[in-house]
Structure 1
Amino acid sequence: MQTGRFRKAAANVLVATALVASASSGVQAAPAGSLNIGLGGAVTTIDPHFFNATPNQVIAHCLFDRLTERSPSGRLEPGLALSWKAVTPTVWEMKLRPNVKWSDGKPFTADDVLFTINRARNVPNSPGGFSGFLRDIAKAERVDDLTLRLVTPAPAPNLPAQLAFVAIVSRHAGEGASTDDYNAGRKTIGTGPYKLVKYVPGDRVELERNDAWWGPKQPWQTVTFRLIPNPAARVSALLAGGVDVIDDVPPADLPNLSKNKAVHVASIPGMRLIFLALNFKAKTGSKWATDTDGKPLAKNPMLDRRVRLALSESINRTAIADRLMQKTAVATGQWLPPGAYSYANSVKVPPYDVGEAKKLLAEAGFPQGFKLTLQTPNDRYPNDAGVAQAVAQMWSRIGVQTTVDARPWNVYQRERDDYMAALWGWGSPTLEAGYLLSNVLETPDKSKGHGVFNFGNYSNPQLDSLTDKAMSTLDDGTREKLLVEAVEMASRDVAMIPLLQMSNFWATRVGYVMTPRMDERTLPINVAPEAAK
């Protein structure tokens, strides 16, 4: 079975650690049958193909399956596909799992996969969907009910890994169905471990166990995700017993929770990068970038590499990681952790040099600086608005008078293409550099599935060519060299401003044990009654 071609074992890089903060006495078994999860991120849809955001993926993982899956440590595993192999350099053959039923009792077949591939590429009004994961598929062919062939225009070594992100939906329920139909539960028919009971936007998602699921029987008859974006409220709900598990544990609360005998804390090194995206689309300034008198700038300052470099070098990333994030994150200059496949050893954490930053600004024609608004969500990533405030203060020290505009996640996304500077997070659960390159930095091209999340509209034809070459190279060693070269190129051009590499934390009440996931997803299948451990 083809399970990926990563040269370095992910297990050597991403090893789960559990910080158990309870005494051995007094541990009680979890209540049978129910699980309540306090989710920090906003679930904005039940449609598994509408918007690729981690909270949405969490719910999709409960209701639907994928052809391939990821273990908590990131290992590629069978899902609805039992095996896969490259029968030629441009043809992948997948053998599908037999005897799988949809939650309405109808059989799963290869035809459902063909329907899914077409639908996931063409969801109306999608703000950021899944076409990037399917970009390598030129043609999908049904050989028989349980055999599928995927034809690619060039070798596509990462295709099995990319398919671990695309939920498979049924043709019989999904044909003609809208996103509203999925949100209302009318067409939410899946093969996953749970079935949808109710979705209340901004409040909760209620699920019940799918006893016909092909996987191991789940201990939870019902699962309720409570959507609690406020960190303090999330911790309070855990301590009061209103929820059994919370994610995105606030860094400031970790010391006390780790000492609390009624709580377990679990963590794992993550693949989430917190970074700043800059606007490469605007030719002039905007309401988000003006001169010191508040007048529109004649040119967009972000188009000048010297300005981008000045903004980067004025940020004390280590101080943010150690003090503000209390060492739940580490400073970084790229988007993979050291030791990972395609990590560029030559790309260091950018130096913190206020004097050099001021000099660069003056050389770029801004000796007095300018005014800038930094956009950030305030309920999506751990301490997101706090990180933005710290960056704003550092930018102000070099003359870039920065105001922070913090918004709830569902509001923040609406104007994202117009922001001059914005804080975002991006995970790389494929464990290689190409996932971010092709989705975040490649020149946007909807027809090819390129740059689906390139909200700043960065464009570098040289980088595009190098990325495409890397992503179609079968040899692991050669591909890694090309990806490292691409990381180096993006870094030199300051295509984005990487800030922090996050670790992932969860807290559970005694009686519940969470297996932490590298991809930061809070899945019921990874929570077990403590007595079962």
Structure 2
Amino acid sequence: MKQLMRGLLVAGAVMAGAGTGGVQAEPLRIAIGGAFTSMDPHFYNATPNHSVAMHIFDRLVDRAPDVSLKPGLALSWKTISDTVWEFKLRPGVTWHDGKPFTADDVAFTYERARNVPNSPGGFGGFLRAVKKVEVVDPLTLRIDTGEPAPNLPRELAFVPIISRHVGEKATTEDYNTGKAVIGTGPYKFVSYTPGDRVELTRNDAWWGPKQAWDKVTLRMITNAGARVASVLSGDVDVIDTPPAGDLEKLKTDQRVTIATTEGLRVIYLALNSQEPVAATVTANDGKPLPKNPLLDLKVKQALSIAINRGGLADRIMQKTARPTGQWLPPGTYSYAKSVAVPPYDPNKAKALLAEAGFPEGFKLTLFSPNDRYPNDAATAQAIAQMWTRIGVKTAVETLPWSSYVGRGGKQEFGVGLWGWGSPTGEAGYLLSNVVATNTPARGLGVFNYGRYSDPALDKQIVEALATIDDSKREKLFVAATETFARTLPIIPLYILDNAWVTRKGISIDARRDERTLAMDARPAK
């Protein structure tokens, strides 16, 4: 483990020292497709919120575009025992208000980030292994995990560091008004207009390489067509998540450049696994069912194989996604080769429904956001048609992400369409956050929106997370993924590719973790 970390640190140090090209006088204007919902960096663990926060707040450990680890506010880290990690912090770092950054700020952050009031999905999952934080001196921090936690540096790469002197008395509203938005990052906060934009200015005192842009605007443009029109007209310089159907045409447009990479986000369906059944799952006559059919494995298997994943990837996503039965692409650490893409078999699906006691099917509503993931609403509509063909009469209700996530977090959906990225590059991130039994005190199942629970699978997940040896841990993750495939806590659909469009004269590094960052953009050479 120590040798691995030393290798990562050497590589990261080289990357951290790389320059960003010439400094520009004009601003950089970025249009983000997802809705960013708060300036509080710990309010909601969602990619658009991360994209905004990463400009202002640094992390102890950082990630390169390929999701490999590199130094952030910590210059180095190592294990000094099986359960204790030591982090050496970067000297000379100051907050945007000029006060010095110290290890005490990190200790405060890891206490505060666990429990932000009214958060629809917080950061406790990243900190579940942190049992005790010891400030050795202003630039040395030790974290006791109580049991082996080999993924700790990967998980800490998600948690933005805030200051004790500002954050101790600050509420989420104080961040949203800008009062508390004081970070150590490459850009300083200027203004936030909810539902519209964030304005930033370069932090010339940042510890990292001088940034290429003196001002940055992050706009929220959730309509995909409007995003494309804005970059083609020169109204913005960078957009993320362009429509799949526009990519081929954009590749031949001399006004723009496309950057793409294989992604790490799975689009999946979460099934309500509680009794009584959700009000949106009923008998064919609309009356309540005596039991929740979504708890029946045969029903879940029927719903899964009634979905033509290849058709979704080819036609709805126009070959910008890859069908899957899990949540990692082939070749990734802990990808389970034994878990194939579920076959499309509507006839067998009908037979399974009959075996489960639903020969005439039942009715349900499939919920989906309409502005969060590429073609999210269209995917839901296509699945509804497939399910209706096997006798599960499916209506679709789509909502803006800002409304969708709140209702989903309260388990109001019988079935909901969600996406989950695994930028840690291993199976444990989804297993621990999405599949494990919802246990906030342990930081498990924080995003288990269906409230599925399987103690045997929980045991597999926890054992894998605590296994130091990389080879043994991978085998345990694969075994847990095989259990997942047999029990179907969620129904995976496809893994997205990631794409960005930049106007001519600007290039950007395509990131596997989907973050859209001014720090990755530069004047084209």
The alignment status of 1:483 with 2:477, answered yes or no, reads yes
Q: Deviations over 1:161-219 (max 9, x none)?
A: 10000000000011110000011110111000001111101111111111111000001
Q: Residue 80 of structure 2: SS of its match in structure 1?
A: strand
- Distance in 1, matches of 2:214 and 2:395, equals 48
- Distance in 1, matches of 2:191 and 2:80, equals 43
- Distance in 1, matches of 2:471 and 2:321, equals 29
Is the 2:23–2:213 contact (alpha carbons within 8 Å) kept by the matching residues of 1? no
Amino acid at match of 2:370: N
Match of 1:424 among 418, 421, 427: 418
Is the 1:2–1:83 contact (alpha carbons within 8 Å) kept by the matching residues of 2? no
User: Closer, same or farther in 2 for the Cα pair 1:2/1:527, shift >3 Å?
Assistant: farther
Match of 2:230 among 237, 244, 249: 237
Amino acid at match of 1:107: P
Is the 2:24–2:214 contact (alpha carbons within 8 Å) kept by the matching residues of 1? no
- Unpaired runs of at least 5, structure 1: 12-28
Normalising by structure 2, what TM-score? 0.95
Q: Deviations over 1:100-135 (max 9, x none)?
A: 000000000000001001000121111111011010
The alignment status of 1:441 with 2:435, answered yes or no, reads yes
Percent pairwise identity: 59
- Distance in 1, matches of 2:312 and 2:255, equals 30
Q: Deviations over 1:118-153 (max 9, x none)?
A: 000121111111011010011000010000000011
Aligned residues: 511
Q: Deviations over 1:74-102 (max 9, x none)?
A: 11000000000000000000000000000
- Distance in 2, matches of 1:257 and 1:240, equals 13
- Distance in 1, matches of 2:339 and 2:115, equals 37
Q: Which residue of 1 aligns with 2:308?
A: 316
Match of 1:455 among 449, 455, 467: 449
User: Closer, same or farther in 2 for the Cα pair 1:471/1:189, shift >3 Å?
Assistant: same
Q: Which residue of 1 aligns with 2:69?
A: 76
- Could you tell me how far 1:413 is from its partner in structure 2? 1.4
- Distance in 2, matches of 1:117 and 1:3, equals 27
Amino acid at match of 1:143: V
Is the 1:249–1:507 contact (alpha carbons within 8 Å) kept by the matching residues of 2? yes
User: Closer, same or farther in 2 for the Cα pair 1:157/1:31, shift >3 Å?
Assistant: closer
Is the 1:46–1:182 contact (alpha carbons within 8 Å) kept by the matching residues of 2? yes
Runs ≥4 residues deviating over 4 A: 1-8
- Distance in 1, matches of 2:324 and 2:6, equals 22
* Residues 244-393 of structure 1 aligned to structure 2 (within 5 Å): 244-281=237-274, 283-393=275-385
- Could you tell me how far 1:415 is from its partner in structure 2? 1.6
- Could you tell me how far 1:6 is from its partner in structure 2? 13
Q: Deviations over 1:395-436 (max 9, x none)?
A: 011001111101000011122112110000000000000010
The alignment status of 1:405 with 2:387, answered yes or no, reads no
Match of 2:129 among 126, 136, 145: 136
Q: Which residue of 2 aligns with 1:88?
A: 81
Q: Residue 418 of structure 1: SS of its match in structure 2?
A: coil
Q: Name which of structure 1's ranges 80-89 and 285-294 shifts more when overlaid on structure 2.
A: 285-294
Is the 2:237–2:502 contact (alpha carbons within 8 Å) kept by the matching residues of 1? yes
Amino acid at match of 2:403: V
- Could you tell me how far 1:284 is from its partner in structure 2? 3.4
Q: Residue 214 of structure 2: SS of its match in structure 1?
A: strand
Q: Which residue of 1 aligns with 2:14?
A: none
User: Closer, same or farther in 2 for the Cα pair 1:220/1:435, shift >3 Å?
Assistant: same
Q: Which residue of 1 aligns with 2:106?
A: 113
Q: Deviations over 1:286-324 (max 9, x none)?
A: 321111111111111101000000000000000110111
- Unpaired runs of at least 5, structure 2: 12-21
Q: Which residue of 2 aligns with 1:223?
A: 216
Amino acid at match of 1:196: F
User: Closer, same or farther in 2 for the Cα pair 1:220/1:394, shift >3 Å?
Assistant: same
Is the 1:258–1:265 contact (alpha carbons within 8 Å) kept by the matching residues of 2? yes
Is the 2:257–2:502 contact (alpha carbons within 8 Å) kept by the matching residues of 1? yes
User: Closer, same or farther in 2 for the Cα pair 1:3/1:303, shift >3 Å?
Assistant: farther
- Distance in 2, matches of 1:43 and 1:479, equals 35
Is the 1:182–1:188 contact (alpha carbons within 8 Å) kept by the matching residues of 2? yes
